[in-house]
Structure 1
Amino acid sequence: MTSSRRPPPASRRRGPAASPRAARRPLTAALRRSRSGRRLTVLLAAYFAVTAVIGGRLVVVQVLAAEQYQALGERQTQREVTLPAGRGRLYDRTGAPLALSEPAAAVYANPQAIKQGDTPPREIARALSRHLDLSQETLSERLTRKAGFVYLSRQLPRDVGEAVRAERLTGVGVLEEPIRRYPNGSLAAAVLGYVGIDHRGLAGLELAHDAALAGQTGTLRVERAPGGVPISNAPREVEPAVPGDDLMLTLDRRIQLAAENALSGALDTHQAKAGAAVVLDADTAEVLAMASVPGFDPADLDAAAPAQRRNRPVTDAFEPGSVAKVVTFAAAIEAGVASQGQRWSLPAELEVGGTTFTDPNRSETTGAALDEIVAHSSNVGTIKIAQQLGRQRLHDAFAAFGVGTPTGIEFPGETDGSLPPVADWWATSLPTIAIGQGVSVSLLQLAGMMQTLANDGQRIAPTLVRGEIDPTGRLRPVAAPQRHQAVSAETAAVTTRLLNGVVERGTGQRADVEGYAVAGKTGTAQKPHPDRRGYQQGAYLGTFAGFAPADNPEIAVAVVLDEPDPIWGGQTAAPVFADIAKKALQTRRVAPQQARSPQFAAEGASEGQP
């Protein structure tokens, strides 16, 4: 029996079984979508992070550090050239120039421009060596430095600069700069001082008044390419320099020359190591001359030893010796412990604190009036007077005359001198200080002592500058100097008469100036040992200080010679005083006296040594 099956309904039929790959397709697509999302997230995060970094950097560059980067850009694209200001002149009191500035040339190079140019550095060096005092090797080294600017030579004559400019060398240029000139050579060089190659003061008045003299420098800004080559058609910015003020000094070059010549002659005559002199106006304490010999030429500093550059009257302190007895005498007269009519008994020897003091050329006890003690510079007489005065009053007198304090002249390197406080005095301090040992002064301070007596006992701070002259030609006077009454006018007058006796019949007769009454005092002092206590054997300073005319003072003069032969100030320094005083009085047109005033007339002559 044959059976037959009917096929199932279509709705119940099953298709072929699904493959594994087909079953994974939805999962793969989902994974792909998931990975793409993560990549996008990472990319977006990276994008925002980079954007944040760039944005932050822009904030730093454009906002927070904008000025710093602007300056960096300017340094890379601009070059600044300093334009020197015209330095002020120095004039003496008559208007004669003592220091001035003139135009000079400075030759420079741009090694970067030379490197990019067509001319080899050695050929440029060869051409420059014909004009500059430099070897080709030196020039080649400078022309090949890793720099955009280098000076080749400075402060050259202008014609040398023109010759270099005419060569038209690649990367080589010429600037105009000032050079300092001193038309009188070495005259007053230690006072005037000198400047450096940058035209700034290095010593003397050039240093002390540098701010006023220097003015304000200007600036030239030029654009340049990255390699350092200037862009010729780029705009240039110029800030012009402001010239400095001129100074009118109190010096008179005629009196200054006389002082230096007199000192030079004394050094030759007496084989002294050095000498110095100061001349003051008796009424104003203005410095008319301040000389140091040997001196130096500011145009040739390399030839001068350091000692020659010092302004000795201001910077060097020394024990004055007998010339400082004037303070002891004036103090005793002021205090009333000594008078012209009083006589003193002077032993041959006076022992104080274990030290014996004597007078030269006297070996027995004698009596002497005050004028004789002063005229013959008696050590014993001066000490006996000082003992009546006492320590404190003697100390105060030296202080009142300016010992131990600055003079007020405001000169670089000024010494104060030295005056020990009374509490530090030894048993021998009173006698030694009374005769000018155990204290130290500058020559300017010593001249100030005489100016004080010449000015009725009033001490005035010395000055070297009368005023500043601005670019319009207007003179601005300096402030009035300080004044101090050291002793009364009466005491000054009595002391002046005593000092006139020193010149008329005492140790200072060689200081006499024909036609004028002179008041002054000699001094001879041992030089302290530089390395230990005590004095150098056989080393002395000879001094003389005084003023003239004695009855109507016009000038005060102080002179010191270092280790002259003979040693006595009355024989060596006094004649120098006479030469300087005579020239100064003639220069200031002080008429000679037909006859000396009765109070200064004296008869007899007796010359001691100190």
Structure 2
Amino acid sequence: MTGNSRKKGNGRGRGKQRTRFTDASFAQNIRQRLRSDDILNAGALRSTHYVFIFFAIIAAVFFLRLVFLQVIVAGEYSAQAEESRTINFEISARRGTIYDRNGEILATSVDATTIYCNPTEVTDAKWESEQIQRILEGNAEDYEKLLSKDSTSFVYVKRQADVDKAEELKSLELDGIYFISDSRREYPHGATGGQVIGVCDVDGNGISGLELQYDEILRGTPGKYSGERGVKGTPIPGGVHEDSPAIDGEDIMVSLDIRLQDTMEAALSKQVTTYDSEHGSSVVMDADTGEIYAICSYPYLDPTNLSESLIGSDNLLAVTQPIEPGSSFKSVSALTVRDADAMGVDDTIFAPRELHADEYVITDAKWRPDVIYSLRDIISKSSNVGISLATEKAGFENLYNMINTCKLSEKTGVDYPGEAQGSMPKFNEWAKITGYNISFGQGITVTPLQMTRFYGVLATGGTLVQPHFLLMKPQTGEWIQYDSEKVIDNDQAIEDVNEMLRGVVTDGTGKKANIDGFCTVGKTSTAEIAENGGYAEDRYNLAFVGFIDNSNSNLVCYVGVNDVIYEGNVAEGFKDIMTSAIEQYNIVPN
């Protein structure tokens, strides 16, 4: 029993020890596992926290981006989106018509169609270009380049195309090709008067001539078109943002007579060709009113074919280019002499073959011996020496004052772009040679229009007018008023000068200007050309200016041909123009 007790006891003892060992190990293991789980749990918690933070940051970024897009730049992005599908036009206003004094249309606007393209909608640029070229002409390759542009949704294919051709093209329903109503400027008389009338650019703005001078009246106010288009270019219903119609411009009536203009241009061309020149000018002005009936400078401008017009043809030299007038200026000196009563018409003066002054020598155009000349002889024979001495006798200061009185060194104020001003030295700078030279038209410059206006003073008995083109505005019925001024009160002096100028035509250098049955008066000119501080050899500017005295008309006519290589006489051009005027306006002697 005792043994059994030990056995049992020993067995329990061993078992108890194992239990304590196992329990201790287990507890330790549990503690280790708990510590390990705490670490893992802590790590897991930290990882979850990081993920949460990461996604929170992403959500915040998206939220802020959404706020930025929806609130801050929403308007800008909306505008960009709208712009990408919006087409904008400026609709040209119908430009006012220009009429001549008889109601003939000189310039007018006609219906046209502007054709444009959205290259992003074009499916076959080469084929469509060939169809466009077939109808509109031009170069198919150029059209293809336009239709192939990928950097824009808008290009002009043809501006201001003919309506009929545009309709034919429209019937093909080409992808990406669109049409809008427009207008185009047309000039029914082509090159006749084109230089004076001027031209417009493709946007309908005047860029030369009367088109430029009266652009604000003629052009009106352009309209605006802005509309949205869908993917295929079709208008979005209700998508038009602005559609303001154009306001048409006003019409004007000008003083030109297109029939006389045509006669003048033909006569001037004939003189230019005769003297193998490249330039010339002509003017016809009513000395009573200042209305310019015709005016031109060679070469002429054809506004219907600008590519074939010569360089400089848009420049109306009769207004824009001052030149030394030469002997036609002797009428100013003769008026000075008579107004000062320094010499009568038949009073005489010794005129040597050569006149010496300030180390210079003055002679007449052709050699002659020493002679005795009357004032009448001086003018009819166009003597440089004679007019120099006669003017000196009247006093050079009186000549200076006469030039200023007749405003020969001032702009005329004509309503035309780019008028030039003549030039003359101040009187305190005059030497004796200056007075001599100016007395026969050297050392002073004037434009053909200024010279024409002076002869108008002689034609009207002393009244100076303002040359002009604009007569009235037909829509309002407004007639434009212009100033005139009586500048010479000495009627006898003017009558004497006109008598002497009549002698130039009957017995002197202007015989080719004579018109049977009429009292033609005027003066020729063969002016040397100033060049490099001196005068060119054997090159001249030829001119004749005059009018029909003692008649029911005071039209003054100037004809000039520039840079001629030999001396000549263009008085025949005056005769051609004024003969036509006599017939056209029923001019009769008083």
| Cα separation, partners in 2 of 1:49 and 1:298, compared to 1, 3 Å | closer
| Matching residue of 1:599 | none
* Aligned partner of residue 292 in structure 1, secondary structure: strand
Pick one of 178, 186, 202 that aligns with 1:181: 186
| Matching residue of 1:75 | 83
* Aligned partner of residue 516 in structure 2, secondary structure: coil
* Aligned partner of residue 518 in structure 1, secondary structure: strand
Structure 2 residue identity aligned to 1:513: I
Q: Quote the Cα distance in structure 2 between the aligned partners of 1:39 and 1:168.
A: 60
| Matching residue of 1:312 | 317
Q: Normalization by structure 1: what TM-score?
A: 0.82
Matched, 1:261 2:271: no
* Aligned partner of residue 139 in structure 1, secondary structure: helix
| Cα separation, partners in 2 of 1:45 and 1:425, compared to 1, 3 Å | farther
The equivalences for 1:322-341 within 5 A come to 322-341=327-346
Superposed CA deviations along residues 474-533 of structure 1, whole A, max 9, x for unmatched, are 33223x32334432251333322222222232222221122211221111101222xx22
Contact 1:346–1:368 under 8 Å retained in 2: yes
Q: After TM superposition, give the deviation of residue 460 of structure 1 in Å.
A: 1.1
| Matching residue of 2:95 | 87
* Aligned partner of residue 135 in structure 2, secondary structure: coil
Superposed CA deviations along residues 143-183 of structure 1, whole A, max 9, x for unmatched, are 12121111122333222111111101111123332222211
Q: Quote the Cα distance in structure 2 between the aligned partners of 1:454 and 1:71.
A: 69
Q: After TM superposition, give the deviation of residue 291 of structure 1 in Å.
A: 2.3
Q: Quote the Cα distance in structure 1 between the aligned partners of 2:104 and 2:92.
A: 25
Q: Quote the Cα distance in structure 2 between the aligned partners of 1:432 and 1:220.
A: 64
| Matching residue of 2:561 | 561
Q: After TM superposition, give the deviation of residue 462 of structure 1 in Å.
A: 0.2
Q: Quote the Cα distance in structure 1 between the aligned partners of 2:411 and 2:315.
A: 17
The equivalences for 1:334-353 within 5 A come to 334-353=339-358
Q: Quote the Cα distance in structure 1 between the aligned partners of 2:73 and 2:154.
A: 29
Contact 1:248–1:467 under 8 Å retained in 2: yes
Number of aligned residue pairs: 561
Contact 2:464–2:485 under 8 Å retained in 1: yes
| Matching residue of 2:581 | 584
Q: After TM superposition, give the deviation of residue 74 of structure 1 in Å.
A: 4.6
| Matching residue of 2:105 | 97
Q: Quote the Cα distance in structure 2 between the aligned partners of 1:54 and 1:37.
A: 25
Superposed CA deviations along residues 4-27 of structure 1, whole A, max 9, x for unmatched, are xxxxxxxxxxxx99x99999x99x
Q: Quote the Cα distance in structure 1 between the aligned partners of 2:458 and 2:170.
A: 63
The equivalences for 1:398-477 within 5 A come to 398-469=403-474, 473-477=475-479
| Matching residue of 1:541 | 541
Superposed CA deviations along residues 82-113 of structure 1, whole A, max 9, x for unmatched, are 21111111111010111112222332211122
The equivalences for 1:104-123 within 5 A come to 104-114=112-122, 120-123=124-127
Q: Quote the Cα distance in structure 1 between the aligned partners of 2:472 and 2:264.
A: 24
| Matching residue of 1:251 | 256
Q: Normalization by structure 2: what TM-score?
A: 0.85
| Matching residue of 2:511 | 509
| Matching residue of 1:486 | 487
Q: Quote the Cα distance in structure 1 between the aligned partners of 2:207 and 2:145.
A: 30
Q: Quote the Cα distance in structure 1 between the aligned partners of 2:439 and 2:518.
A: 30
| Cα separation, partners in 2 of 1:55 and 1:235, compared to 1, 3 Å | closer
* Aligned partner of residue 281 in structure 2, secondary structure: strand
Q: After TM superposition, give the deviation of residue 36 of structure 1 in Å.
A: 12
Structure 2, unpaired ranges of 5+: 1-23
Structure 2 residue identity aligned to 1:303: E
Q: Quote the Cα distance in structure 2 between the aligned partners of 1:194 and 1:340.
A: 49
TM-align CA RMSD: 3.3
Larger radius of gyration: 2
Contact 1:222–1:230 under 8 Å retained in 2: no
Structure 1, unpaired ranges of 5+: 1-15, 594-610
| Matching residue of 2:388 | 383
* Aligned partner of residue 170 in structure 1, secondary structure: coil
Q: Quote the Cα distance in structure 1 between the aligned partners of 2:176 and 2:519.
A: 71
Q: Quote the Cα distance in structure 1 between the aligned partners of 2:53 and 2:177.
A: 61
Pick one of 144, 149, 153 that aligns with 1:140: 144
Q: After TM superposition, give the deviation of residue 323 of structure 1 in Å.
A: 0.2
| Cα separation, partners in 2 of 1:153 and 1:554, compared to 1, 3 Å | same
Q: Quote the Cα distance in structure 1 between the aligned partners of 2:61 and 2:145.
A: 51
Structure 1 residue identity aligned to 2:221: Q
